[in-house]
Copies of this chain bind each other. A is one copy, B any other.
Amino acid sequence: MPVTDTDLANAIRALSMDAVQAANSGHPGMPMGMADVATVLFTRYLKYDPAEPKWADRDRFVLSAGHGSMLLYSLLHLTGYARPTIEDIKNFRQVGSPCAGHPENFELPGVECTTGPLGQGLAMAVGMAMAERHLNAEFGDDLVDHRTWVIAGDGCLMEGINHEAIGLAGHLKLGRLIVLWDDNKITIDGDTGLSTSEDIPARYEATGWHVVECDGHSFADISRAMDAAVKDDRPTLVRCRTIIGKGAPNKQGTAKTHGSPLGDEEVAAARKELGWDYPPFEVPGDIREVWLQNGKSRAAPHAKWQERLANSDQREEFERRMAGDLPQGFSVRDHVTRLLGEPKTVATRKASEMALEAINAALPETVGGSADLTGSNNTLTKGLGTFDRDDYGGRYVYYGIREFGMAAAMNGMALHGGVIPYGGTFLVFSDYARPAIRLSALQRARVVYVMTHDSIGLGEDGPTHQPIEHMMSLRVIPNLDTYRPADTVETAECWELAVSRKDGPSLLALSRQNLPQLRAEAEENRCARGAYRLKAAEAERRVILIASGSEVETAVEVREKLEARGIGADVVSMPCWSRFDAQPQDYRDDILPNVAPEKILRVSIEAGTTMGWERYTMVNGLRFGLDRFGASGPGARLYDHFELTAGAIEAKIVSTLG
């Protein structure tokens, strides 16, 4: 008998239920419910090459409902990707297997992005679709001409970020974005009717989307809907009416199949129901062969594309961009030299704009933006052009009041490759974007967060807008480099480090208020060390003042007062903890000598929470900051109010020294 689409889909179902059963953990319902839709997608629509998972012009496929990871692992395996192997799948959800509970881009090259935190996959796909159109505008149809496909569940659509993501996609008319909605009417708690009564297609249409429907278990109907999606010039939501856990006769259509193994008995019943008369993890040769052939045939366009690339005069630039390499010799040294020539007292958000003028001119791959705070974040430089539906070549995105959506879109752009995204909001609203910042770090995505108004120094907007705990709460995110530069030179240096980092995100915390230029030399990028001695004690060293950002100025003032009393004090500027912690022991010992507090008192000054600074001041040092919410008033007045002035700090240090 010839192999049918149903056979192909049942191979996914069998692998999924077997792997979940073997792991005794996982989500069989979604892979079994969407197996038919995924089969149509991977055999007739998606453009991909299992032999070269990272081929630049491949379609991007995002499993936004990441808990259904076995769907993706099954597809990658069956279509012939080198990984996962059947052994990998047998070890689903075990330490060491690339088949993690949720798909992770750093485990398998065939996984475009890490999903599981609901809503973010679809929102990243928006960013991928933006990057695609942007690169298409620059490199043309010959090199860049692909789609972004998403499978999303009810959870992805119910999360707030869905509103931000589809609003952006509809506004930008991202017609190459197609979302396949697994409309199974089931969430973990039970029927979707428990918590929602929304008309989802109407909502999508309200934001400029094209919506089609299909029976998610009819191959012909799925194809018809996908054809309609491909033809339309708007982003498309394909409502796939499915039965969760389809094939498990006693549990399908219920929440019981969602997040638990089916159980041996029901797995056996499903084998019977599906006519799948093979042992666990075995896919019969003929079915395996047809899957492999499909994997090969979908890769046909790759060879032609290689030819076009070989003949393109943009080849070198395109390859550089997609490899994520910066242009030869890129550096901010010239810019910094100019800064030294004309020292400026400006806010670091302005210093950031000045650095960006140089960076954006040198790096055509940057794509900037702001969540409706362009003039405050100083993220727009001359000549970038607006990225919109009429000009995807523009390099500046008006993200709207969508911090989370912006951050997720930037993740998608960075993962797509070819662009380096940066985007701004107020530091306090890093909270809104935080789930995506975490995913930048986990996914090792080169995204630069420009977070201005970084302390009570912002003044009158008051406690709702004044970050207190934010720097510390961001420093604890693994693999995120956080920077709080003190002046124009440090800001430029931190920017250089941020855009040069290929394996993770960076976040710049910038002041609203003006700060003096403190650095008078710039032979090397001193921020690369994370912390460095800005001023050395002149009198006998009794104190080391450690500060970041706007408080480095305060530290310098405190030092002058102490030195005037004959108390020697170093000033250590510490823009980046993670970089400092990564320095060799001898460097760290030089900056912060391991001496008892009675001999050298360590003092931290940062207009934010003091918790955590014990790491550098030691418990017996002094920590100046703010462990309560701020207040509304002019910024300078607030520093007085909260006793974060050089005079108050000097007094406390002197009394501590005795």
Q: Which residues of A contact B (CB under 8 A)?
A: 23, 25-26, 66, 93-97, 100-102, 104, 114-118, 154-155, 158-164, 167-168, 170-171, 187-190, 194-200, 202-203, 205-208, 370, 372-376, 386, 398-405, 428-429, 431-432, 434-435, 438-439, 441-442, 459-465, 468-469, 472-473, 475-479, 609, 611-612, 614-615, 618-619, 627-629, 631-634, 637-638, 641
Query: Known interface pairs A460-B23, A463-B442, A619-B615. Does A402 touch B479 (Cβ–Cβ under 8 Å)?
Result: no
A95, B159: Cβ atoms under 8 Å? no
Which of B207, B375, B431 makes the CB contact (< 8 A) with A434? B431
CA distance A358 to B405 in the complex (A): 41
A476, B469: Cβ atoms under 8 Å? yes
B203, A612: Cβ atoms under 8 Å? no
CA distance A438 to B104 in the complex (A): 30
Query: Known interface pairs A478-B627, A629-B442. Does A461 touch B116 (Cβ–Cβ under 8 Å)?
Result: yes
Contacts of A429 in B (CB 8 A): 117, 435
Which of B188, B203, B465 makes the CB contact (< 8 A) with A102? B465
A101, B199: Cβ atoms under 8 Å? no
In the complex formed, the residue of B with least CB distance to A380 is B189
In the complex formed, the residue of B with least CB distance to A26 is B460
Which of B374, B405, B460, B462 makes the CB contact (< 8 A) with A104? B462
CA distance A162 to B94 in the complex (A): 39
Name 13 interchain pairs, CB-CB below 8 A, sorted by A. A100-B462, A101-B461, A104-B462, A117-B464, A159-B432, A160-B162, A171-B195, A187-B401, A188-B373, A189-B375, A198-B207, A478-B609, A612-B612
A435, B432: Cβ atoms under 8 Å? yes
Which of B96, B189, B197, B637 makes the CB contact (< 8 A) with A374? B189
A429 CB, min distance to chain B CBs, angstroms: 7
Contacts of A101 in B (CB 8 A): 460-462, 464-465, 632
Contacts of A465 in B (CB 8 A): 101-102, 116
Query: Known interface pairs A160-B160, A171-B195, A633-B93. Does A462 touch B102 (Cβ–Cβ under 8 Å)?
Result: yes
CA distance A118 to B194 in the complex (A): 27
Contacts of A638 in B (CB 8 A): 95
CA distance A114 to B190 in the complex (A): 35
A189, B469: Cβ atoms under 8 Å? no
In the complex formed, the residue of B with least CB distance to A91 is B633
A628, B478: Cβ atoms under 8 Å? yes
Most chain B CB neighbours (cut-off 10 Å) among A154, A370, A372, A401: A401
Contacts of A114 in B (CB 8 A): 464
In the complex formed, the residue of B with least CB distance to A25 is B460
A503 CB, min distance to chain B CBs, angstroms: 13
Say how many copies of this protein the assembly contains.
Answer: 2
Contacts of A189 in B (CB 8 A): 370, 372-375, 398
Contacts of A196 in B (CB 8 A): 167, 171, 400
Which of B159, B206, B459, B641 makes the CB contact (< 8 A) with A202? B206
CA distance A658 to B223 in the complex (A): 70
CA distance A143 to B476 in the complex (A): 48
A188, B372: Cβ atoms under 8 Å? yes
CA distance A618 to B602 in the complex (A): 14
In the complex formed, the residue of B with least CB distance to A160 is B160
In the complex formed, the residue of B with least CB distance to A117 is B464
B195, A206: Cβ atoms under 8 Å? no
A407 CB, min distance to chain B CBs, angstroms: 11
Contacts of A468 in B (CB 8 A): 476, 478
B208, A206: Cβ atoms under 8 Å? no
Besides A93-B633, A116-B462, A612-B612, 5 other A-B contacts (C-beta < 8 A): A25-B459, A95-B638, A102-B464, A188-B376, A468-B476
A602 CB, min distance to chain B CBs, angstroms: 10
B473, A402: Cβ atoms under 8 Å? no
A423 CB, min distance to chain B CBs, angstroms: 13
B478, A476: Cβ atoms under 8 Å? no
A100, B26: Cβ atoms under 8 Å? no
Query: Known interface pairs A198-B206, A619-B615. Does A631 touch B399 (Cβ–Cβ under 8 Å)?
Result: no
B164, A95: Cβ atoms under 8 Å? no
A66, B618: Cβ atoms under 8 Å? no
A195, B611: Cβ atoms under 8 Å? no
Q: Which 3 A-B pairs rank lowest in CB-CB distance, beginning with the nearest? A: A160-B160, A195-B400, A163-B163
Query: Known interface pairs A116-B462, A160-B164, A472-B476. Does A197 touch B203 (Cβ–Cβ under 8 Å)?
Result: no
Contacts of A97 in B (CB 8 A): 632
Contacts of A477 in B (CB 8 A): 469, 473
Contacts of A198 in B (CB 8 A): 167, 170-171, 206-208
Query: Known interface pairs A94-B633, A101-B460. Does A401 touch B442 (Cβ–Cβ under 8 Å)?
Result: no
Contacts of A104 in B (CB 8 A): 462-464
A629, B188: Cβ atoms under 8 Å? no
Contacts of A476 in B (CB 8 A): 468-469, 472-473, 609, 611-612
